[in-house]
Structure formats: C-alpha cells, structure tokens
C-alpha cells in the first residue's frame, strides 16, 4: 500500500467512526443545531493548545470549500447530466 493509499484508508476509518458518532448524537438530541455546535466544538478541542482559534476557523472554512461542491454534485438531480 502506498503512503497515499494508507492516508486514504486512515481517513476512511476516521470518517466511518465520525458517522457512527453522528448516529449516536442523533439518538441523544433531535435538534440538529445541538449536534452541529457540538461537532464544531470538537474541532476546536481537537486543535486546542496547538492552533489559534482563528486558524481553526480558516481550516474549517477551507474544508467546507472542498466539501460543498462535492455534496452539491452528489445531490443535484441527474448530476447535471440531463
């Protein structure tokens, strides 16, 4: 396995765990805003003491700029093909 393949495999394991956590959170609170804020707090806690809060915000924004187009394509009827 190449380093890039290993990185992707590591990411997919982390993603699967995150989706499990979201599922558990949905069982804890029906309010999406509670879950959204809790996940954002978790991101700040992940970087706590190592990264400035404004930098964390920029990291999150950068990830969103990458993910939003992916989800737009994924949820567009016919994926724009007709």
pLDDT tens column, 28-76: 999 999 999 999 999 999 999 999 999 999 999 999 999 999 999 988 7
C-alpha distances out from residue 30 to 21, 36, 53, Å: 14, 11, 28
The torsion angles phi and psi of 30, rounded to 5 degrees, stand at -80, -10
pLDDT at 81: 52
> In terms of Cα–Cα distance, which of 33, 32, 57 is closest to 44?
57
Number of domains in the chain: 2
Residues 51 and 14 in one domain: no
Whole domain around residue 43: which residue ranges? 31-82
The per-residue pLDDT for 19 is 96
Res 75: pLDDT: 83
Query: Are the C-beta atoms of 9 and 1 separated by less than 8 Å?
Result: yes
My answer on whether 18 and 51 are in the same domain is: no
Do 77 and 46 share a domain, yes or no?
A: yes
Residues 18 and 4 in one domain: yes
* pLDDT of res. 82: 46
- Write down how long the chain is: 82
* Residues 61/48, Cβ–Cβ less than 8 Å: no
Residues 72 and 47 in one domain: yes
């Amino acid at each position: 396995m190449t380093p890039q393949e290993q990185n992707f495999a590591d990411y997919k394991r982390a993603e699967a765990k995150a989706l499990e956590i979201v599922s558990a959170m949905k069982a804890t609170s029906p309010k999406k805003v509670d879950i959204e804020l809790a996940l954002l707090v978790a991101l700040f806690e992940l970087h706590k003491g190592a990264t400035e809060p404004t930098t964390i915000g920029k990291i999150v924004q950068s990830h969103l700029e990458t993910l939003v187009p992916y989800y737009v394509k994924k949820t567009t009827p016919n994926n724009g093909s007709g």
